[in-house]
Amino acid sequence: MHSFYRLILVVTLFFLTTLPAFAQEAAESRGEEVTVISFDQRVDKFIEPVANAFSGVVFYSVDLVGSTPEMPLKLPLILAWLVIAAVFFTFYFGFINIRFFNYAWRLLFEKPKKDEISSEGEISRFKALSTSVSGTVGLGNIAGVAVAISVGGPGAMVWMIFMGVFGMSTKFVECAMGVRYRHRTAEGHFSGGPMYYLKEGFAERGWPKLGWAFGAFFSICCIGGALGGGNMFQVNQAFQQFVNVTGGEASLMADKGWLFGLFVAFLVGAVIIGGIRSIANVASKIVPVMALVYFIGAAGVIIMNIEAVPAAIGTIFRSAFDFSALGGGFLGAIIQGVRRASFSNEAGIGSAPIAHAAVKTDSHVSQGMVAMLEPFIDTVVICSLTALVIVVSGVYVGGEGMEGVELTSRAFGDTFAFFPYILALAVCLFAFSSMIAWSYYGLKSFTYLFGETPQAEISFKVIYCLITIVGGAAQMDNIINFMDAALFAMAVPNIIGLYIMAPMLKRDVKAYLATIKNI
């Protein structure tokens, strides 16, 4: 029966996407000049007003001091929401991100004890962290950093690191909550994340209906974010990079986005069919390799330009604290740096707790400490490497203002002519790893809403793979914008819940610290 429904879905999509072409051929055969808009363009146009309205609410911005029509300086309120939470949790938990930084690395790599081997869960600490990192490390670390530097200046790098460090505290809180309120399914798997700790945590405080509503809203937004930013955008950008290094408009693949999407959908489907264990196994292999390759490339550029490093570091700090140009300098650097860090490591968004909920551990506090390493890896290390390469190479000077991956590619390419090909490979790997991680986030949100059954899981995985094909072939900017807004809307109910449950977690942290020695 389920195979029948899937067949109907595929046939329907086929006719909807090919019908405009048939109509155009019929019109041309009659000698008529008719411009037929493709199905994906029709859908994208239809959703445009809704996407603009929703995106306008989520990314609503206010003008700051120093803003001018020539140089607008706007602060998105969702960004302020994430920053305030990161600073609050850092102080509320006594700078746990700094005090237990070394201890978190020890937890990540230490050999599991006998009682931990028998702990409930499906994956190791390292695999949980790899899955979470794979969902955040992506084009934001390559293209987004370049935009931050070209718009906010080299000083954006300082504020990027600043927000990466503070974001570690938010990541600790949300991932600890994800493990604390996780539950075991009838099939023996584990489900967790903001939807569960919002529902159950609020119910413990006598607000079951509010908790359910917050959990449902989060899940709906997470599904949208998974299908859009976690899927369509990733495969579309990977396809563009693939075309660029294979001849551009002259490439044989230039008009075959559907074929690229089909190939990626096959790879994604082969991984996600095995659930979190399969996803974690792949992520734990891809993430270290792509991080190492990127690190070696960045280190090579820095070493080749070693004489320029002292001057570049001086430029970075002068730009970061340029009070003489309050609007375009100081505040511009802060906004761009903090924005890139927040949007890159997703601290506060609520995605990472879904992956960490499957870890083998009996302590939600210890796993929260491991999880807080993610913003450090994503932002402090990878984003900072990208920024340093761009500044050291000097390619940002006289740039076009909003250059993204092209600027990063040029920064590497000026030193190593072959590096744009490696960068294209890195983009594809980053995109693929993000897609498999976000498939799991979307799946758990889907089963939260529609029931944790095999039928629900299969349905979502089929939908996810079909969307991958569409993402490779279609230009649906409005739908992607709508889903991006949904992704960041996840932070609203998530952080509200974290504020409410922070006192309880603080007591848990105190109890945990009383049980360990020699930190």
Dump pLDDT digits (tens) for 343-379: 777 888 898 999 998 888 888 999 999 999 998 988 8
Q: Are 352 and 77 in contact (CB under 8 A)?
A: no
Domain shared by 43 and 27, yes or no: no
Domain shared by 221 and 244, yes or no: yes
Element (H, E) at 497: helix 491-513
- pLDDT score at 253: 67
Count of the separate structural domains present in the chain: 2
Least confident piece of the model among 189-193, 272-276, 450-454, 475-479: 475-479
The boundaries of the domain holding residue 129 are: 39-61+78-91+102-513
Determine, yes or no, domain membership for 267: yes
Domain shared by 28 and 114, yes or no: no
Least confident piece of the model among 78-92, 130-144, 359-373, 495-509: 130-144
For residues 94-106, one letter each, b for 16 or more C-beta atoms within 10 angstroms of the residue's C-beta and e for the rest, the string is eebbeebbebbee
Question: Dihedral of CA 190/193/198/204: which sign?
Answer: positive
Domain shared by 314 and 368, yes or no: yes
pLDDT tens for 269-313 read 888 888 788 888 888 888 888 778 888 888 888 888 888 888 888
Phi, psi of 338 (to 5 degrees): -65, -40
Whole-angstrom distance, CA of residue 64 vs CA of residue 436: 39
Asked whether the predicted pLDDT for residue 21 surpasses 60, the reply is no
Determine, yes or no, domain membership for 325: yes
Which of 428, 429, 425, 392 minimizes the C-alpha distance to 410?
A: 392
Asked whether the predicted pLDDT for residue 131 surpasses 50, the reply is yes
Determine, yes or no, domain membership for 264: yes
Mean pLDDT of the chain: 79
Place 28 in a pLDDT band, splitting at 50, 70 and 90: low
Q: How many residues in the chain?
A: 519
Place 402 in a pLDDT band, splitting at 50, 70 and 90: very low
Determine, yes or no, domain membership for 71: no
Determine, yes or no, domain membership for 121: yes
Which of 505, 264, 248, 235 minimizes the C-alpha distance to 363?
A: 505
Q: Report, as an integer, the average pLDDT of 371-395.
A: 84
Domain shared by 375 and 419, yes or no: yes
Q: DSSP letters of 379-417?
A: IIIIIHHHHHHHHHHTTTTT--SS--HHHHHHHHHTT-T
Domain shared by 32 and 118, yes or no: no
